[in-house]
Amino acid sequence: APGLHIVATPIGNLGDITLRAIETLAKADLIAAEDTRVAAKLLRHLGLETPVVPYHDHNAQTMRPHLIERLQGGATIALVSDAGTPLVSDPGLKLVQAALDAGIPVTAAPGPCAAIAALTLAGLPTDRFCFCGFLPPKSAARQTALADLAAIPATLLFYEGPSRLAAMLGDAAQVLGKREAAVARELTKLHEEVVRGDLADLAARYAMLEPPRGELVVLIGPPTAQPAASAQDVDALLTAALQTHR
Ligand code: SAM
């Protein structure tokens, strides 16, 4: 169907491409891709020859009006990023906004997303979670950003590069205090690994190790609730205390 299609692609395992993603990429007049070489590799794997144009942070401003014009002319355009779901720490938001403003139909072929895959494996609460993307690379700004998130009663999800993992976990342990946490690495790939534990322990562990290889998601559980003692609890405590002094 004409319009803008947001198409998720694999985060490592090519088998994760969905049937609808393949169909959408096959039928599109044009694929707008974060990196045309990465997209070309996927298309080759799928045996598709749909034309690809670049759409990334550096050319988006000039490319966007061109894409909107094509869409207004009735074209079907698929947006893909290098891996996973476009717009999730990836380009695409302004293109979607421009398409919506122009009254162009926007639809999604949903699929892989590293944050969601990590959430399902971490063993941390899933009823409420907050995707926080990449933290600032410098420690002072990172600590400020973490402090802004400290009171959120939800599992926090971060994308992080391996070289910054230890420093990030150290800042998180310092700012957020005692929490359960997990590091999910190389999801859907050969060396998939999820390390779970106390945030401070994970920080200490990665501070000792060489930076791990590959891509990773850091998950930090919600603040541990300190439930206010109920009247009944107080009664029981007092009774117990009095009994020991009888
Ligand atoms: N749009 C993508 C998505 O839906 O997951 C995320 C793009 S963002 C630029 C790339 C980051 O996602 C990586 O630095 C890493 O934190 C995370 N990531 C991507 N693939 C991953 C994988 N296979 N395992 C763990 N984390 C991954």
Ligand 1-lining residues (CB < 6 angstroms):
11-12, 81, 83-85, 88-90, 113-115, 159-161, 184-189, 215-217
Residue with tokens 């409420």: 128
Does residue 237 register a pLDDT over 70?
Answer: no
Per-residue confidence (pLDDT) for residue 243, from 0 to 100: 73
Does residue 74 register a pLDDT over 70?
Answer: yes
Report which protein residue has its CA nearest ligand 1's atom 2. Answer: 84
Give strand pairing partners of 108: 6
Per-residue confidence (pLDDT) for residue 244, from 0 to 100: 61
Of all residues in the chain, what percent carry a pLDDT higher than 70? 93
Contact 10, 112 (CB under 8 A): yes
Q: ipTM score of the complex? A: 0.99
Residue 74 CA to ligand 1 center (angstroms) comes to 32
Instruction: For the chain, give the mean pLDDT.
Output: 95
Place 224 in a pLDDT band, splitting at 50, 70 and 90: confident
Report which protein residue has its CA nearest ligand 1's atom 16. Answer: 159
Residue among 7, 9, 11, 189 to mutate when testing ligand 1 (max atoms within 8 A of CB): 11
Residue 216 CA to ligand 1 center (angstroms) comes to 7
Residue 4 CA to ligand 1 center (angstroms) comes to 23
As given in the structure block, the two tokens for residue 162 are: 């391996």
Average pLDDT value for residue range 123-146 = 98
Contacts of 89 by beta carbon, 8 Å cutoff, 6+ apart: 133, 134, 159
Report which protein residue has its CA nearest ligand 1's atom 8. Answer: 89
CA end-to-end span of the chain: 81
Report which protein residue has its CA nearest ligand 1's atom 20. Answer: 11
Place 195 in a pLDDT band, splitting at 50, 70 and 90: very high
Strands 216-220 and 180-185: antiparallel
Please state, in angstroms and rounded to a whole number, the distance separating the CA atoms of residues 118 and 216.
9
Please state, in angstroms and rounded to a whole number, the distance separating the CA atoms of residues 117 and 226.
29
**Which residue type is seen at 207?**
A
Place 242 in a pLDDT band, splitting at 50, 70 and 90: confident
What is the atom index within ligand 1 of the atom nearest the CA of 158? 16
Does residue 226 register a pLDDT over 90?
Answer: no
Residue among 16, 34, 89 to mutate when testing ligand 1 (max atoms within 8 A of CB): 89
Q: At what angle do helices 93-101 and 60-72 cross, to 10 degrees?
A: 40
Q: Is 7 exposed, middle or buried (0-12, 13-18, 19+ CB in 10 A)?
A: buried
